[in-house]
Amino acid sequence: MAPVRFDLSDDQEFFRETARRFIEAEVPISVVREWHELPDGCPESWWQAAAELGWTSLMVPESLGGGSISGRPIVDLTIVADEMGRGVTPGPFMPTNVVADTLARSGSPDQQALLEGVLAGEVVLAWAFCEPGGDWTASHVTAAAVPSNGGYALTGTKVAVEAGAQAQHLLVTARTADGVAQFLVPSDAPGVTVNPQESLDLGRRFAEVRLVGVAVGPEALVGAPGAAAEADVARQSLIMQLLQCADNAGSAAKVLEFTIEYAFDRYSFGRPLASYQALKHRFADMKLWSEASQASVDGAANALAEGQDEARMVSVAKSYVGDHSVELMHDCVQMHGGIGVTYEHDLHLYLRRATVNRGLFGTPGDHRVTLSKMMGY
């Protein structure tokens, strides 16, 4: 089987292999199904074991106790996302890393002190961003941060907050008179209500977060309101989207692998499904989508790592991977026939998760509109 990408260093390849073995040993698909019943989606002790492997330290610089594998932490992060996609592995991986990155870059020393717990897997972080009917851009944010008693009072409703009910701290994106601002708020602060939501994805956890006059001091601000906070929001959003794409590229590759195996094993009219040209051609298309998805993820990861044209390349990935990974899975359902639409078969676990990744932070259609605007039209 071909590796995720073809330019990994030996260290990165070892990191990937370790992640895969850890997932296969600790969270095989039977365990994934058991964890669906856990309110928090995964045992705390497991998340701590994952953190020991470095899953929460990549975006945190060495000076704060973290460290990447390659010096290109974004790329390292996609390695884990890809493996988690292959395993439909639960866990607050995406929000914790995205918020940790912002704290490491823009947080105060007090806020950065939290990272020690993140690195140990003891502290989970969530990003309270999207609002009902919102379009996943900073401009849709209406949650208000009103100056009060030398600090702020936060009021607003956030939805689809991944790990919102598991996180000890929420990064809340709100609007001030000076523009968008971000605040780090303990999830048990007075005025904060966290209501777990249902999700198509049975593995990861999402919540609604209601803030009613939540009083925070000025020290809760993460970075400066206005342009600086908007830049942070943009980066958080791009990293989230990249990880969704890496997750979907990984899960699509995995689904294609076991569906190809099925096509060799399953006989119909005295010959394997894999011998029918009508099906072979569809597998060829799926292989194309899978490889092109991986190429899109690599392109977006490199763009983000190098800070070059990253908004465009991430939208390209969301536009391509979002559609083709999910279409690939639908086609694999079709290849399986009836068994593919049963609860018992694992296919829907992948399809559920991939569908959520496809839609949150903008559908492929949304990103195509974004791209057309970037083209100056």
Chain residues binding another protein by CB under 8 A are 2-3, 5-7, 260, 263-264, 271-272, 274-275, 277, 280-281, 283-285, 287-288, 291-292, 294-296, 298-299, 312-313, 315-316, 319-320, 365, 367-377
DSSP letter for 63, please: G
State which residue, 35 or 262, has the beta carbon closest to another protein: 262
Shortest approach of another protein to residue 360 CB, angstroms? 19
Find where tokens 């690939």 sit.
Answer: 328
Q: Distances in Å between the alpha carbon of 258 and those of 18, 77, 274, 334?
A: 21, 25, 13, 13
Please state the φ and ψ torsions of residue 31, each to the nearest 5 degrees: -75, -40
Using alpha carbons, list the distances in angstroms from residue 222 to 228, 243, 255.
10, 23, 40
Which is closer to another protein, CB of 38 or CB of 288?
A: 288
- Looking at beta carbons only, is 30 or 277 nearer to another protein? 277
Question: Taking the complex as a whole, how short is the minimal distance between the CB of residue 270 and another protein, in angstroms?
Answer: 13
In the complex, least distance from residue 362 CB atom to another protein, rounded to whole angstroms: 11
| Euclidean distance between CA atoms 353 and 94, whole angstroms | 13
Q: Give the Cα separation of 270 and 251 in Å (integer).
A: 31
Q: How far is CA 74 from CA 58, 83, 90, 312, in A?
A: 8, 15, 20, 16
Closest distance to another protein from the beta carbon of 274 (Å): 4
Name the minimum Å distance from CB 308 to another protein.
Answer: 13
Nearer to another protein, 231 or 260 (CB): 260
Nearer to another protein, 153 or 292 (CB): 292
Given the structure tokens 């809340």, which residue do they identify?
Answer: 172
Residue 88 CB, shortest distance to another protein, in Å, is 23
Cβ distance to another protein smaller for residue 33 or 312: 312
Q: Say how far apart CA 125 and CA 114 lie, in whole Å.
A: 10
Least CB distance to another protein at residue 285 (A): 7
- Name the residue nearer to another protein (CB basis): 110 or 261: 261
Exposure of 307 by Cβ count < 10 A (0-12 exposed, 13-18 middle, 19+ buried)?
exposed
